[in-house]
A and B are shown apart, each in its own frame.
Chain A
């Protein structure tokens, strides 16, 4: 694991974020920060509000209270496409891929923010429009190589097995060249080998591109191995925050996982 020297300043933080759906309180006054280049894990029992937290971080849900700070700018309400424009990308627990498109097209869709030619040029497919298609295709092919999915690039994503779909989801997020990558249970439903592959990919992304990673994960082994710091949520509240070792020894965390009433 690379040393703490590479970890930079706070790049993303939430203060006192509260989120409710009707009567259900998903998050209650949660605050934590994320430093540049680090791998931050969010863990907690089921229903703790982890996915909701991620959704708040990139603007899919709007919290009733609290603020989000990204690179010094403060937001109470952020549209998810604004978050994307600012450099936050994510993957989904249930793989929100575009089922009607091929793997290649899905990942190319991730390049969308960088493609700027106007409608007319696209319709004529000349000059800048044509060059753009080829340039971005090259970038996407490098990502495909990186995630080792070359054989599937022309297939419709709906036909791929679950593990490969998750990789395409990751590829699409990477195509956005994000500075912060939010991963929602990237290893759910995978066997040991697939998990090892995915771990390797995530660490490589963090190493080679310096991308800050925030991930939700249930596998404690993975969390302890790859994360720099960990946030623990339970029933929508933060009950632990620190390095993996600190959190492992935290009594409140142990109680939450063992189901001790509090």
Chain B
């Protein structure tokens, strides 16, 4: 308990930074709200990818570096398949492909490595990332593709009466937020209320103990990875329709790593909250902090958002490694 002050300090600094632009009047409230919303929406998208991480880690203790590549692969699949069939069919087919992919990864990569320590598994999933990147582009092509969800892309002006000039809100982002929320709720219920969910949590805690009470480890892992594949699909579709399906998608997905660090590796809630914090923090820092830094230090441009998330994660690792909602690890000798 006495070690809590660094966390509180960090939180205080972050909160101050958050409120500062509004408090000092440096930015009109309408604009501030827009940036905030933009950050929240980006945060939702990060959360979607981070969910996949958290799920796999929760159930199998594997840190799936390949989640980003899975998102990209899923998005590519949907985009290309949708050129030949209606969107709903493309998504179903893509889901099937993702499940098969999940099974293959579990069989070929995870099972042989089941007794190695975390770092070996991390590097294996890194290998999977590279493989999926190359394979995805070989199979689906490497141009930029688009996914048409049929939602209007033009932003809509709302709350004109409350804030001067109104606030621009993107319908697509709104749908994304709703979908993400629904997904999170569904997953939370799944983990807490169903027998499979309980089994998953048992496996996450202790593989051997779970096996000794008869939980079929391999089947559980396939389920988990399939669910992660589903989440990757949803994330891929939403990201893809927003940004266009391109290689940089897997880089963007890398950003989900700091999210799980903030939220705690094993927590679904943490993935959501962490994503929102990162999304908002990043946008705020880029919009309000960058210009100050550029002027003070005569920098050649902004771009704080490239490292903000990681440095924030680093700070969190130093004061609260288990994240906001993760479990503390006790090492017994």
Contacts and interface: CB of A to CB of B under 8 A. Distances in A.
Q: Do chains A and B touch in the complex (CB under 8 A)?
A: yes
B333 interface: yes
Contacts of A21: 330, 332
A203 to B, nearest CB: 27
A31 interface: no
A91 to B, nearest CB: 13
A21 to B, nearest CB: 7
Nearest to A94: B333
Q: Which secondary structure dominates where chain B touches chain A? A: loop
Interface in B301-333: 330, 332-333
Nearest to A54: B333
B330 to A, nearest CB: 7
A55 B330 contact: no
A22 B333 contact: no
Contacts, number: 7
Contacts of B330: 21-22
A48 interface: no
Nearest to B333: A60
A60 B333 CA distance: 8
Majority SS at the chain A contact face: loop
Interface in A19-46: 21-22
A21 B329 CA distance: 12
Contacts of B332: 21
A55 B333 CA distance: 9
Interface string A36-78: 0000000000000000000100001100000000000000000
Nearest to A184: B333
B278 to A, nearest CB: 32
Contacts of A22: 330
A21 B330 CA distance: 9
B305 to A, nearest CB: 39
Contacts of A60: 333
A60 B332 CA distance: 10
A21 B333 CA distance: 12
A73 B332 CA distance: 27
A9 to B, nearest CB: 30
A173 to B, nearest CB: 15
A99 to B, nearest CB: 12
A182 B76 CA distance: 61
Contacts of A61: 333
Interface string B90-128: 000000000000000000000000000000000000000
Nearest to B332: A21
A109 B174 CA distance: 60
Contacts of B333: 55, 60-61, 92
Nearest to B330: A21
A60 B331 CA distance: 11
Nearest to A80: B333
A22 B332 CA distance: 12
Nearest to A60: B333
Interface string B263-276: 00000000000000
A205 to B, nearest CB: 23
Contacts of A55: 333
A55 B332 CA distance: 11
A70 B333 CA distance: 23
B1 to A, nearest CB: 13
Interface string A210-232: 00000000000000000000000
Interface in A136-172: none
A82 to B, nearest CB: 17
A220 B252 CA distance: 64
A31 to B, nearest CB: 23
B201 to A, nearest CB: 19
A52 to B, nearest CB: 9
A154 to B, nearest CB: 26
Interface of A: 21-22, 55, 60-61, 92
7 residue pairs, one from A and one from B, having the closest CB atoms: A60-B333, A55-B333, A21-B330, A21-B332, A22-B330, A61-B333, A92-B333
7 contacts: A21-B330, A21-B332, A22-B330, A55-B333, A60-B333, A61-B333, A92-B333
